[in-house]
Amino acid sequence: MSGAGRVQRGMPAFSSTLAGGAVALFVDIPLTSPDDRLGNTGSVAAVSVMAALILGWIWAALPGDTSQRARAYSRVCLALFALTVVAALLAESVGGLANVVSYVVPLAAIVCVATALLTPLVGRMFGGTVGVWIGVSLLAAVLVTGVTLAVYRVGFTEPPSLSLPPPP
């Protein structure tokens, strides 16, 4: 299979993961982050894009028809969610970071459930160029929304002043 064929074959998972990531961006707003520098809307957007790339690659690599791939893919999503929960528990208990589990687990659940449920559906409904455009549109939406919400949450509604302090 050519590189373009693999990209098209992975687009259902890529798009579904980004759709879950878009929902997670808005769920992130009321959650208490363990560290505002690490756990913020920008990092949620970045992790969603990375997850979309990885899960798109996994979906494209799975053999069989859509229903066979869907069963294997849902097991992969469940395993990745379990690993995420274990990592969050370790970060909170061993790493000493507060609120990691209550911050990470809901966001991971949203993304994992969205990708496990939507990927086979999107795979059956959209193919070819339409699927690629849907994925590219969702990527742009997640990046723009993530950056916008990150800037809004940090409070940079206007650029900082670069003027010198008043003379003594």
Mean pLDDT score, 10-16: 83
The residue to which tokens 């003027």 are assigned: 163
Amino acid at 93: S
Q: What is the pLDDT of residues 145-166, one digit of tens each?
A: 777 766 665 555 555 555 666 7
Most confident option among 53-62, 116-125, 138-147: 53-62
Q: How far apart are CA 142 and CA 139, in angstroms?
A: 5
Cβ contacts of 124 within 8 Å, gap of 6 or more: 66
Name the band, by pLDDT with cuts 50, 70 and 90, for residue 127.
low
For the chain, the domains span 3-151
Q: How far apart are CA 137 and CA 141, in angstroms?
A: 6
Question: Is 81 a residue whose pLDDT tops 90?
Answer: yes
The answer to whether residues 21 and 50 touch, using CB atoms and an 8 Å cutoff, is: no
Q: How far apart are CA 77 and CA 116, in angstroms?
A: 6
Amino acid at 163: S
Q: What is the pTM of this model?
A: 0.76
- Count of residues making up the chain: 168
Name the band, by pLDDT with cuts 50, 70 and 90, for residue 38.
low
The answer to whether residues 4 and 131 touch, using CB atoms and an 8 Å cutoff, is: no
pLDDT score at 3: 63
Mean pLDDT score, 33-45: 73
